[in-house]
Amino acid sequence: MLNVPQFPHGHVSLYSRIRDELRHGIVSGRYLPHDRMPSESQLMQQYSVSRITVRQALGDLEKEQLIFKVPGKGSYVSRPKPFQELGRLQGFAEAMATQGHETYNHVVSIATLAASDVVATRLQLAPAEPVCELRRVRYLNREPVSLDVTYVHSRIGTLLAREDLASRDIFLILENDYGIALGHADLAIDAVLADAATAALLQVDTGAPILRIERLTHTHDGQPLDFEYLYCRADNFQYRLRIARG
């Protein structure tokens, strides 16, 4: 028996199609956490492919930590906390999209106001100079995960006001559309209790533990560009990073 024709033009490999369909079944909720996935034999029959093909699809999903396997039992949907790599300077949607999650930003408010002392210091502005304040609630798989309060120079703010802030990352907009090269970011991390307003936006109880990340992002030539407070729900999301000895 001969092997299958190799996708000559647009279409992709069999295993990647199976992998994508199964992943959609997971993120869409058709397979719930701790559900058993169809066994390899079932998938072989369902898609009329060999076991190698099925295993490659499941292996990819296992690598993404969407499922885990138990020898002798089967594959199960895992519920790992989605995480964002701190070790790379990237936006939220950018980070999540690579892991098969659905993201959406709800713009709570966008306004120009006088910089507070802290904000003016961080962005190296004169006190009370006008800055743009952007408040957004980030949703991951339809659950709110963080309230981001962003401060940028009012000049940048007027650019951003015209953009699609609901689905695109600020970093990507600045980099791709406006050619602003990003450099490094300084972070400080602590934990606070949710106040009533924040709790409502994040759909948690007032007084719930909230991870607060202060982030000051610089352009490639070292100018401060963007100062943010991220108030992150700690129960459905994790920040991760990897550091090395040196």
Partner DNA sequence: GGACACAACCTGTTATGACAGGTCATTACC
Partner DNA sequence: GGTAATGACCTGTCATAACAGGTTGTGTCC
Q: Which of 44, 89, 149, 159 binds a second copy (CB under 8 A)?
A: 89
- Alpha-carbon distance of 222 to 177, in angstroms, equals 20
Contact 236, 210 (CB under 8 A): no
Q: Which of 28, 30, 35, 48 binds DNA (CB under 7 A)?
A: 48
CB of 79 to DNA, least distance (A): 18
Single out the segment in contact with a second copy by CB under 8 A; choices: 24-32, 40-48, 81-89, 93-101: 81-89
- Alpha-carbon distance of 44 to 126, in angstroms, equals 66
Look at residue 169 and give its three-state secondary structure.
Answer: coil
Helix H or strand E segment including 57: helix 51-63
Q: Which of 29, 34, 50, 198 binds DNA (CB under 7 A)?
A: 50
Single out the segment in contact with DNA by CB under 7 A; choices: 44-52, 129-137, 177-185, 191-199: 44-52
Q: Which does 222 bind (CB under 5 to 8 A by kind): a second copy, DNA, none?
A: none
Count CB atoms within 10 A of the CB of residue 39.
Answer: 14
CB of 76 to DNA, least distance (A): 9
C-alpha distance from residue 101 to each of 10, 141, 143, 186 (Å): 24, 6, 11, 26
Residue 147 as a binder of a second copy (CB under 8 A): the answer is no
- Alpha-carbon distance of 83 to 90, in angstroms, equals 12
Single out the segment in contact with DNA by CB under 7 A; choices: 43-51, 111-119, 158-166, 231-239: 43-51
**Size, binding site for a second copy by CB under 8 A:** 43
Burial 84-98 (b: 16+ CB within 10 A, else e): bebeebbbbbbbbee
**Size, binding site for DNA by CB under 7 A:** 32
Alpha-carbon Rg of the chain, whole angstroms? 22
Q: Which of 191, 196, 197, 200 binds a second copy (CB under 8 A)?
A: 191
Residue 197 as a binder of a second copy (CB under 8 A): the answer is no
Q: Which of 117, 190, 221, 222 binds a second copy (CB under 8 A)?
A: 190
Single out the segment in contact with a second copy by CB under 8 A; choices: 94-102, 132-140, 177-185, 195-203: 177-185
Q: Which does 10 bind (CB under 5 to 8 A by kind): DNA, a second copy, none?
A: none
**DSSP state for residue 226 in the 8-state scheme:** E
Count CB atoms within 10 A of the CB of residue 235.
Answer: 14
Residue 102 makes CB contacts below 8 A (sequence gap 6+) with 27, 96, 139, 140, 141, 142
Positions touching DNA (CB under 7 A) are 1-8, 13-16, 37, 39-42, 48-53, 55-56, 69-75
Positions touching a second copy (CB under 8 A) are 63, 81-84, 86-90, 181-193, 207-212, 220, 232, 234-235, 237-246
